[in-house]
Structure formats: structure tokens, C-alpha cells
A and B are shown apart, each in its own frame.
Chain A
Amino acid sequence: MESIIKTKLLTKRYGRTMGIDTLNLNVEQGDVFGFIGPNGAGKSTTIRVLLGLINITSGMAEVFGLDVRKHRKEIQQRIGYMPSEASYYSGMKVKDVVQMSAKLRRTNCKREANRLFDRFDLDENRRVEDLSFGNKKKVSIVCALQHKPELIILDEPTSGLDPLMQKEFWDALRERHNAGATVFLSSHVLSEVQQYCKNIAIIREGRLVVQDSVEALSNSTARRVTLRGVRHLPLLPDGVLEQSKMDSDFTFLYKGSMEDLTDFLAAAKFDDLYVTEPEMEELFLHFYAKAGVRK
């Protein structure tokens, strides 16, 4: 499968501050790729490098196989971008902003723009400074999708949107994806990433922690083990990532050999046992624990 986004040892420094550090990413054509990390992890910095808004300190970044430093204009022609917080020129109407965006791309997207206005229940005649945060976000969605780009880059796309609009947004995105578009989105809402993305990368302090498919990560060997009515607890086996005890219940996240686990359970005395797949959130927190960082 062809790589749509590829970075190798991508590094961005702001003076002494590290933005992103030797980041290796690979997003393939037709993917819906989630880029996860907390605020300040380097998600927006990575996106801005890909868009050519900021320079690379070292390493390389390619979009559509083109170097972002040399082919900024060609790359941007094929991208639809939605920033996390959109700012527009005060005094302009929604339709003027959307039309300006289309003109800057030298395309006429009036029909598609009107369809998106209706879909997202957006009043095209309102002035942008009168819009709520959520409605500004909708303007961003229209600007990002109206020209039917090959690659859609979204920075925290659903923050500020009400649940109904979030659903509409994901439906619109799914339609574009089904039509062949690749989607790259940053988020810290794990549930939506788990639900909508095929592959994810987790970034922490500018460094890639892990990149894998959502399925593989969810089906990783890690298991949530919960013991109810614990009367005796032997020595914990290797591979216990995180544990907690409440009254007579004991729960832990386990990623080790099954043999060790069964030995442990055989030695323990308890009333009931639950072994479940961990939630994405748990994996996320696990990967964020310093000890769990893969370098």
C-alpha cells in the first residue's frame, strides 16, 4: 500500500524546547489514522510540519511521496485541513470565508459547500465573529471537505461539537473515506479513535510511543484481571503493569506469560474472577506511564 504520510527521524525544535523528536510515522493510502497524545505532546507540531507551516529541524517528512519542504503548494492542493481552533477574518460572512477558501484552491465548490451547510445546519449568512466555537468548527469542516481532498488532516476535530453534530461529522468523514480519501486526525478522545480509526500512533513528549492498528492494540496480550472476595494473595507475577485494591476486590493490568498468571491464580484464594480485554483508555494510560514508553 502506498504511503500517504511518511516521516523519518522527524525532529522539530523551538530553540531549546523540543517540539517533536525523531518521529517515525507511516500512514498508508485509504487509512483512517488516529494520532493520540495529550496537550503539548507534539500532535499539532507534526501537523504543521506536514502542512509546511513550520520548518523541520532535522529528519524528513513526505506527503504523497513529496518532500514537504520542496512541494508545499502541490501537497496543500490535495489536502483538506481543519485546525483545532479556527480563526477567521472578522466582518466576513460564513459563505465569504468558505468561498475564499475555494478560490484560494482555484476550484468552484459552491454546490458541495451548500450541501455541507445544510448537512451541518450552518447559517451561511452569519458573520464569523458572531459564531459559537462549535459553529466556527463547522465552518472549518466545510472548508476542509468542500473540495473533496485526497488527504483530510484534522486537529482535534470534534471538540466543541455537540453529540449530534459529532455523529454527522463522522458520517461525512466516513463517506469521504469510502470515496477513497485518507484521514489523519489528532485527538485525545480515545473512544472516538477506537471507534473510527483503523490505525493509531501514540505520541508523548514529542516521541512516538507506539504505532499499530487499533485492533492489534486492543487485542494485545494485556488483560484486565479482577479478583472478587480476595482472602489470600500470593506474590504477584512479573508483567503486572498497574494494580489497585478496594475492600476485598483486587484488580490489575497484566501483560506477561499465561503460565505465570495461572500459577498465581491457583495459589490465590478468592470468590470470583473476571478477565477482560482492557479498554483503549487503559492501554493509553499504560503507554503513557514512563515505564511503558517504547523508544
Chain B
Amino acid sequence: MIIFKHEMKRGRRALFIWSVAISAFVVISLMLYPKIERNMKLVNSILTNFQFLTAAFGMFNTDYVSMISYYGIEAGAFLGLGGGLFAATTGAAMLAKEEGRHTAEFLMPHPISRFSVITQKLLALLVQVIILNLFVSGVSLLAAQIVKRPFPMDQFAQLHFALLLLTIQLGLICFGLSAFMKKDNPVVGIAVTLAFYFTNIFININRETALFKYITPYFYADGSRVIDGAMPWDVISISYAAAAVILMAGYIKYIRKDLAI
């Protein structure tokens, strides 16, 4: 597990910065909640007049401003997008950086199989993504206690589970793509994340594009859907199957490829 430990060590600073930054945004938004709650009627009427916009961000209910609904939108934006960007950019760099930064010529002549290299790196990515999710959800629970508006735990857990699946899926896809790249390029991770994010917005605006729900993980992790109903396991299964295919292709490519040194 040398490579796993090595990746964890090298990624700790970025993990800390992303975790703290996302948590800070979530905490700030939760601190603002009591004020919003006091003006609930006004907020409701404003949001009702902007249904196109509210639909785009998955605010389909009239209960816009219950603590958990509010949190679902905020967490969806900060953890969904921020955490997604972290997972995607980290995943996209994980394999490609060895060739891009020429460290492959140090690492790969050692007696370690490429399968082991890729698996340990994947494990490091997954653990980092899980730590980020746990950190943000822990800080959120703490912030909710401070503003004295505790979350209904079942809804909170389901929302964070969906966000965890979302970030892991983005990480897996970009990790698989990383095997095909010769240099680590953060643009790949950013592009994949934003493409999925905006696909979900299009689905929310135009229901005829609902078929794309199988493509974007932001669909099943959308706060309003997760909080109000059961997890759409059919969508999650198909979506994850696609990610697994990309990951497997990445494995095959990396094991067979000529290393660009």
C-alpha cells in the first residue's frame, strides 16, 4: 500500500483546502438561514414569481425554506459542485500526472504491477472523496446545532449519501479518463463536472430531456428529489454502470499502454 499512502500524503493539502472551503460556504449559508426563515412569506412569494429559475435549481416544492430543503439546495450547490470538482480534478490527475510530470520513470521501473498502481491510486481517490464528504456533513451537523435548527436525520443522511454517490461517480469517470491522458489537465475534470451539472439544469427546465437523467449524476443527487422521495436506484444503477465501463476501459488502457516518459 505504498502508493496508496503516498497519494494520501500528497493529496492531503488539497483535500484540506477543498473540505474547509466547501464547509465554510455551507456554514455561512446555514448561518443565514434564521434570517431567511423570519422572512419566509416574502421569500416564498419571490420564488413563486421566478418559477423558471427555481425549477432550474430543482426547487419544485412550495416548501422552499424548510431547513432541510434550504440545506438540500445549498449543499447540492456547494458540496455537489465543489465536491464534484474536487473528485473530478483529483481523479483526472491521478494517473496522468505520473507521465505529465515524468515521475513515471521513477515509479514504474520498480517491481510493482500496473494493476496494483492503478488500484492503489483509485483507493486513494475514493478515500479522499469519502473524507471530504464526511468532513462537510459533520461540519453541517455542527452548524445546524449552532443555529438551533436540527436536521431530520433520515433526510439529511439520504441527501449526503446521494452526494457521496455523486462525487464518487465523478471521481471514477475522471479517473478512468485519466488513463487515456498523457498530462494531468484540470480542464478535463472541470469540463466533465460542469457538463453533468448543466445537463441536470436542462432536465429541470425542460422535462423532455429527462432521458439524460441516466447520464448525469446530478439528477439523482438533486436536493429536492432526494429529500422528497426515495433514491432513484434505477437511475443510479445505470449511471454507475456507465462509470464502471469507463473505469474498466481506463484499467485496460493503463495496463497495456506505452508510458509517455
Which chain A residues have a beta carbon within 8 Å of chain B's beta carbons? 14, 48, 51, 53-55, 72-74, 76-77, 79, 81, 83, 85-89, 91, 97, 100-101, 103-106, 143
Contact = CB atoms under 8 A, between A and B. Distances in A.
A87 B106 contact: yes
B261 A76 contact: no
Contacts of B259: 48, 53-54
A83 B256 contact: no
Contacts of B256: 55
Contacts of A79: 109
Contacts of A54: 258-259
Given A53-B108, A105-B111, 4 more contacts: A76-B111, A83-B261, A87-B106, A100-B6
B101 interface: yes
A76 B102 contact: no
A55 B111 contact: no
B2 A103 contact: yes
Contact of B111 (A74, A86, A89): A74
A81 B261 CA distance: 14
A119 to B, nearest CB: 21
Interface of B: 2, 6, 10, 101-113, 256, 258-259, 261
Given A76-B111, A104-B112, A87 B103 contact: yes
A142 B243 CA distance: 42
Residue from B101, B105, B258, B259 whose CB has the most chain A CB atoms within 10 Å: B105
The 9 closest A-B pairs by CB, nearest first: A87-B102, A104-B110, A77-B111, A54-B258, A76-B111, A81-B109, A83-B105, A53-B259, A73-B111
Contacts of A14: 258
B261 A100 contact: no
A106 B6 CA distance: 15
Contacts of A97: 106
Contacts of A86: 105-106
A82 to B, nearest CB: 9
Nearest to A139: B106
Contacts of A51: 108-109
Contacts of B105: 53, 83, 86-87
A175 B101 CA distance: 33
Nearest to B109: A81
Nearest to B256: A55
Contacts of B103: 87-89
